[in-house]
Amino acid sequence: MTKPIPVLTIDGPGGAGKGTISSLVAERLGWHLLDSGALYRLTATAAVKHGIALDDEAAVAALAESLDVAFPIENGKPRTLLEGDEVSQAIRTEQTGELASQVAALPAVRAALLQRQRDFQKAPGLVADGRDMGTVVFVDAPLKIFLTASAEERARRRHLQLQEAGMNASLSSLLKEIQARDARDTQRSVAPLKPADDAITLDTTRLSIPEVVERLAELLAQKGLASGT
């Protein structure tokens, strides 16, 4: 029998460190990386670009199915292209995150993007970052992680990121946005945000990025998946 391509799923709320941790672990292992949240952000961005209402579920789902996106890596850095245009920074705004959360609550959109996400599973392995990677998209993954942190800590981290990027933002407003997004993501009827039954939960509130990466390396080694570490 052909050995299945291993998948490490990393789910959790926004600001828990999923993106940073996932990219570092993927680089360390030499595995592919799936940023599923980017697909929803790109879908929302494309809908706005083409004047499609975000509550028009059928139209947004059709757009998601034919989404013209690419994730080329140039000079060691990943880029995000939508219909040929560079949108790497544009899709990372808080506003786009809010729109993506609305789009992600639409069942038809999630169905349209499901197979596109599974197609990222290629040798030698995949690190899948998202909110339902372990519960819906890769239910047979040998290692599932649920990263979390307090809402206050996630707001503080986001505030620091924005400051470093030269952008102004209110810490209190960021906290409210994170709490609202958490509520929407955990209470949606399809694929609500929650740990998979067999996931390992890691609270990163008081952990540094290197500490989390090392912890994941240990867990991967325990599963016999860490040949690249």
CA–CA separation, 153 vs 151, rounded Å? 5
14 is in an annotated binding site: yes
Residue listed under structure tokens 């789009």 = 103
Element (H, E) at 147: strand 143-148
76 is in an annotated binding site: no
15 is in an annotated binding site: yes
Residues near 108 by Cβ (< 8 Å), separated by ≥ 6? Answer: 57, 58, 60, 61
17 is in an annotated binding site: yes
Torsion of CA 200, 203, 209, 212, to 10 degrees: -30
Residues near 136 by Cβ (< 8 Å), separated by ≥ 6? Answer: 110, 114, 191
**CB-count burial class (<10 Å; 0-12, 13-18, 19+) for 85:** exposed
51 is in an annotated binding site: no
194 is in an annotated binding site: no
12 is in an annotated binding site: yes
19 is in an annotated binding site: yes
**Which residue ranges make up the annotated binding site for ATP?**
12-20
Residue ranges for the known binding site are 12-20
